[in-house]
Structure 1
Amino acid sequence: MPTTALSAADLLARIHTLADPERAVAVARFFQTGPGQYGEGDRFLGLTMPQQRALAREFKALPLPEVEQLVRSPWHDCRSVGLIIWTLQFPKADPAGQQALYERYLHLRRFVNSWDLVDVTCPHIVGAYLLRKDRSPLYELAVEDHLWSQRMSIVSTLAFIRQGQFADTLALAELLLPHRHDLIHKAVGWLLREVGKRNEEALEEFLHDHRAHMPRTTLRYAIEKLSPAQRQFYLQK
């Protein structure tokens, strides 16, 4: 059957045939889905990431409304496949199509509700769309009372870092430093590390200005690629 004839129902059926209940239990535990945890109530079918990516490639021609059915699914694996499809579609879309994907992604961001979904997709959609546009939407995300929007704001800047643009990463990192959640501490540290891999001077300037009030996790992530002597210096300070 040609890919263009396939539907969301076909893809959902395929995903469910690959379900692995035993693995799903372990994955749910890894993503902390228990009461009071960040992934509380999320549900998994147990597909591996290679399986999800293979399905996304096979169904990459699904139209936006069909993919949206996946993104709205109560199953984490289905949301992941749908969002990966959008990352494959985005670079091949015309400007109007890219705008539609970007706007739909942000409209549905309540379903992009785990660090893996954010990290795998937002640089390729939100970051890619804003690369040559006003970056103010990221600052709006950063101040939302929503953990995943806040993580999305900083992780989206990976697209800018890859183009040698660091200003928004550093500004958003400074804005998010007081955040209380470890998943934001890790994201900020990761993106600072990515800046440092390309411009160590920019990272060290940020550390000089902010290390006194950086969460320990953020600091450790940020300095991971520095020399042992540099790491020791910042950890001691």
Structure 2
Amino acid sequence: MIPLEDAVATLQMQGDAQKAAEMRKYHKVDRPYFGVANPVIDAAAKAWRAEVTLDERLTLASELWDSNIHECRIAAAKLLVQARIKPDDAAWRLIASWVPQFDGWAIADHVSSAGGRRLLAEPARLDEVEGWTRSDHLWTKRAALVMTLPWTKMNNPGPDELQARERILGWAADYTRDPAWFIQKAVSWWLRELGRHDAPRVRKFLADHGDAMKPSARKDASRKLPPA
């Protein structure tokens, strides 16, 4: 088991005070920052993953998250970024417990990367994620799209995957009526990624729902579409 104090110290000693101040100003979230670059956090998380059991990893991830330090929360997410975790129910429950605590895009996106792998491993969890789409918490609502981005990247989706994709596009259609910038941006991100693999479906979505989107979001959604 890696003590929390040792893990925090590993990150803190590689920090930079000036960068920490810049990060605090940029992210606009009041929490401690060490000023550690993401590749350094990634290397630390990979080393820790190799040293501990799954249960120990989950404990460390939970403790790092609860520290509320920016880099520690990112490290917590990176500890769970793995395609195969068996059993993974506890990992999913931990990830899902963090979602209501999201307060900015940076940490949320790292957690969503881990969560997306757990959703692919057990797509039935989309039932739970669908509940997030009705949340009054902007970051929870946004996570429903960011965490399901893996469904945009399938070159040859099967029937079940296409059904899931259509389900998520239904959420995105509802989101087009939400004026919040981060929600509009999430819709455009999902569509832009899907457009790399299924441009006709994105064009249909924009034809059906594009008028409800902010012009900048609609433009961003179609930015990578090939010529019709």
Bin of the TM-score, shorter chain as denominator length = 0.7 to 0.9
Deviation of the 1:202 alpha carbon: 0.2
Q: Which amino acid counterpart does residue 120 of structure 1 have in structure 2?
A: H
Q: Does 1:118 align with 2:108?
A: yes
1:30 is aligned to 26
Output aligned runs, 1:20-169, within 5 Å. Answer: 20-31=16-27, 33=28, 39=29, 41-60=30-49, 61=52, 62-88=56-82, 91-94=83-86, 97-126=87-116, 128-129=118-119, 131-133=122-124, 135-163=126-154, 164=157, 165=162, 166-169=165-168
1:179 is aligned to 178
In 1: Cα distance, 2:14 partner to 2:33 partner: 12
Deviation of the 1:70 alpha carbon: 0.4
Structure with the larger RCO, 1 or 2 (CA within 8 Å, 6+ apart): 2
In 2: Cα distance, 1:107 partner to 1:148 partner: 13
User: Does structure 2 conserve the Cα–Cα contact (< 8 Å) formed by 1:157 and 1:168?
Assistant: no
Structure 2 residue ranges without an equivalent (≥5): none
Deviation of the 1:126 alpha carbon: 4.4
Distance change (3 Å), C-alpha of 1:157 and 1:92? closer
User: Does structure 1 conserve the Cα–Cα contact (< 8 Å) formed by 2:145 and 2:172?
Assistant: yes
In 2: Cα distance, 1:82 partner to 1:74 partner: 10
Distance change (3 Å), C-alpha of 1:127 and 1:137? farther
- Aligned-residue Cα RMSD (Å) equals 2.0
Deviates more, 1:208-217 or 1:195-204: 208-217
Q: Which amino acid counterpart does residue 58 of structure 1 have in structure 2?
A: A
User: Does structure 1 conserve the Cα–Cα contact (< 8 Å) formed by 2:92 and 2:118?
Assistant: no
Q: Secondary structure at the match of 1:59?
A: helix
Tell me the alpha carbon deviations over residues 74-117 of structure 1, each in whole angstroms, 9 at most, x when there is no partner.
Answer: 211110111111113xx3321xx311111111122234432122
* TM-score normalised per structure 1: 0.82
Aligned sequence identity (%): 21
User: Does structure 1 conserve the Cα–Cα contact (< 8 Å) formed by 2:175 and 2:183?
Assistant: yes
In 2: Cα distance, 1:92 partner to 1:139 partner: 23
In 2: Cα distance, 1:134 partner to 1:11 partner: 31
Distance change (3 Å), C-alpha of 1:188 and 1:43? farther
User: Does structure 1 conserve the Cα–Cα contact (< 8 Å) formed by 2:88 and 2:118?
Assistant: no
In 2: Cα distance, 1:132 partner to 1:110 partner: 20
Q: Which amino acid counterpart does residue 40 of structure 2 have in structure 1?
A: Q
In 1: Cα distance, 2:218 partner to 2:89 partner: 35
